[in-house]
Amino acid sequence: MYAIVDIETTGGKYNEEGITEIAIYKFDGHEIVDQFISLVNPERDIQPFVVNLTGINSKMLRDAPKFYEIAKRVVEITQDCIIVAHNAMFDYRILQLEFKRLGFPFNRKSLCTVELSKKLIPEMESYKLGKLVRALGIPMSDRHRASGDALATVKLFKVLLDKDVEKNIIQQAVKTEIRKKVATRLLDIVENLPSATGVYYMHNVKGDIIYIGKSKNIKKRVNQHFTGTNNKSKKIQKQVATVTFERTGSELIALLKESEEIKRKKPMYNRAQRKTVFQYAMASYKDANGYIGLRIEKADGRKKHITTFTNMSQAKHVMFKLTAEFRLCQKINELDPSKTQCFPYTIKECNGACIQEEAVESYNKRVQEAIEKYSYQNKNMLIIDKGRVHDERSAILIENGIYKGFGFYSLNYQVTNTEVLKSIITPMENNRDVQHIIQSHLRKKNRFKIILLP
């Protein structure tokens, strides 16, 4: 759990400042679950430059509560939380200073979104909150007021959690949570999980990830692990201390995220999924008469294939479907073994390329259209799908046929502006596994929106 904080102060000499406004959003890593916003009477003068910057003056604070009157609420909302702030050293110091004046020790773990941003989003022009969120296409209001700045920090922190592919932020929070729980029953773990699409992470008592999975219903899938009777399920049940999760909204992004993170983290109970073998592939060739044919062959990592398949049954299903959809020839595509014309020609479902009745140019044009549909080779495009909440969308970036990564956006500006788009995309590795995942989803899903990029 995180307490995302922003504080406005009087300014003045170091360790003599007072709080004029405070905003705290309690954030569970997915959504805001509690909040506290208040003006504060600092019982001291406000520096003129601060009045000009924030618009907060002494007259506004005359009837505001003093810090000792809100101190209990601050303690309660930050209890068992990691303090998160943009320049956390400042906000955390001011909180400790105010509690010290009351004779009360205030100790929490803290994270700084400036430092995290420098690490996870390098090469940004500026890491000042206003400029940084603008560069990421994050909407912001009430700049230099505690509530507006804290809310922008929540949205920035969400982006940073997405970009933290090593899961260092989550694991630090998990270790904090586990230490507070002597023993967690499996039923309690399941109770706190959503019935949503995403990726889940099982942690042991040290906070280490021991298993990663994806599901269209995280709660249901984790419950299956906890009620399973096979050896792997029993070992997981014995070792799991907590389960964290990330909603993706999109099943395709859940698959891509799971594949990437299993390879990156190498959890002990994901051995079978660390390396996936796609045995068959679709390739093209040119026959003696100049017709382009498509065939199924053994997958070879050294070759560029149109698309890949997990097994021969899947490969044949797709080949027959493609051949029928584009009125191609079963014989040229090596699906019909006849010596003369193919069978579909006799029922007028083939234009006669098998006996050279159709012009090579018109036939090959349809083959190229089929290849275009079933492959994203050399394409620059965005695959748009569902987001994690109703007003959000996900975007997968393909550049020159290479998978670059994915991100989430709520404004069209974020995907139409190239610089903003690249900043919200979390970079991911391009490999045969992700190529297979994307191609197989493009084959069978018609709900994706494709945006072709220049």
Q: How confident is the model at residue 402 (pLDDT cuts 50, 70, 90)?
A: confident
Share of the chain above pLDDT 90, in %: 51
Q: Which residues contact 161 (CB under 8 A, 6 or more apart)?
A: 29, 169, 170, 246
pLDDT of residue 454: 79
**Dihedral of CA 430/434/439/442: which sign?**
negative
Element of type H or E holding 220: helix 218-227
* pLDDT grade for 183, boundaries at 50, 70 and 90: very low
pLDDT at 307 over 80: yes
CA dist., res. 382 & res. 98, Å (int): 49
| Contact by Cβ (8 Å): 269, 235 | yes
Q: Which of 148-152, 306-310, 321-325 has the lowest mean pLDDT?
A: 306-310
Domain shared by 49 and 147, yes or no: yes
Among 225, 249, 273, the domain-final residue is: 273
> ∠349-351-354 over CA atoms, to 5°?
105
More confident residue, 270 or 274: 270
What pLDDT was estimated at residue 298? 87
Is residue 184's pLDDT more than 60? no
What is the model's pLDDT at position 273?
Answer: 59
In contact, 243 and 189? CB cutoff 8 Å: yes
Q: Please state, in angstroms and rounded to a whole number, the distance separating the CA atoms of residues 277 and 301.
A: 10
pLDDT at 415: 82
Which of 242, 273, 304 corresponds to the end of one domain?
Answer: 273
pLDDT in tens, 283-294: 899 999 999 999
pTM, whole model, 2 decimals?
0.75
Q: Which of 211, 188, 208 is nearest to 274 (CA)?
A: 211
* pLDDT, average across residues 102-131: 91
pLDDT, residue 301, reads: 67
| Residue 15 pLDDT class (50, 70, 90 cuts) | confident
Distances (CA, A) of 72 to 77, 80, 225: 9, 14, 41
Please check whether residues 110 and 23 belong to one and the same domain: yes
Average of per-residue pLDDT values in the chain? 88
User: Do 66 and 118 share a domain, yes or no?
Assistant: yes
Q: How confident is the model at residue 272 (pLDDT cuts 50, 70, 90)?
A: low
Identify the residue with better confidence: 187 or 56.
56
Q: Do residues 44 and 140 both lie within one domain?
A: yes
Q: Residue 49: which H helix or E strand, with range?
A: helix 48-54
Indicate the length of the chain as a whole number.
454
Q: What is the mean pLDDT of residues 119-144?
A: 88
Question: Both 27 and 139 in a single domain?
Answer: yes
DSSP 233-296: HHHHHHH--EEEEEE-S-HHHHHHHHHHHHHHH--TT-GGGSS----EEEEEEE-TTS-EEEEE
pLDDT for residue 36: 96
Query: pLDDT digits over 310-358, tens only?
Result: 788 888 988 998 999 899 999 999 998 888 888 989 888 899 999 999 9
| Res. 35 pLDDT band, cuts 50 70 90 | very high
**21 shares its domain with 109:** yes
Q: Residue 137 above 90 pLDDT?
A: no
- pLDDT at res. 445: 62
User: Over 80: is that where the pLDDT of 114 sits?
Assistant: yes
Report the number of distinct structural domains present in the chain.
4
* The pLDDT of residue 21: 95
Residue that finishes a domain, picked among 374, 406, 436: 374
Domain extent for 21: 2-163
- 96 burial class (0-12, 13-18, 19+ CB within 10 angstroms)? middle
CATH number at residue 261: 3.40.1440.10
- Amino acid code (one letter) for 3: A
Let me know whether 22 and 159 are in one domain.
yes
Q: Are residues 180 and 130 in the same domain?
A: no
Name the pLDDT band for 182 (thresholds 50, 70, 90): very low
Could you tell me if 184 and 93 lie in one domain? Answer: no
Query: Same domain, yes or no, for 16 and 127?
Result: yes
DSSP code at position 65: P
Please tell me which residue, 211 or 179, carries the higher pLDDT value.
211
Q: How confident is the model at residue 64 (pLDDT cuts 50, 70, 90)?
A: very high
Looking at the fold, whether 117 and 150 belong to one and the same domain comes out as yes
Are the beta carbons of 427 and 407 closer than 8 angstroms?
A: no
pLDDT band for position 178 (cuts 50, 70, 90)? low
Query: Is 35 found in the same domain as 142?
Result: yes
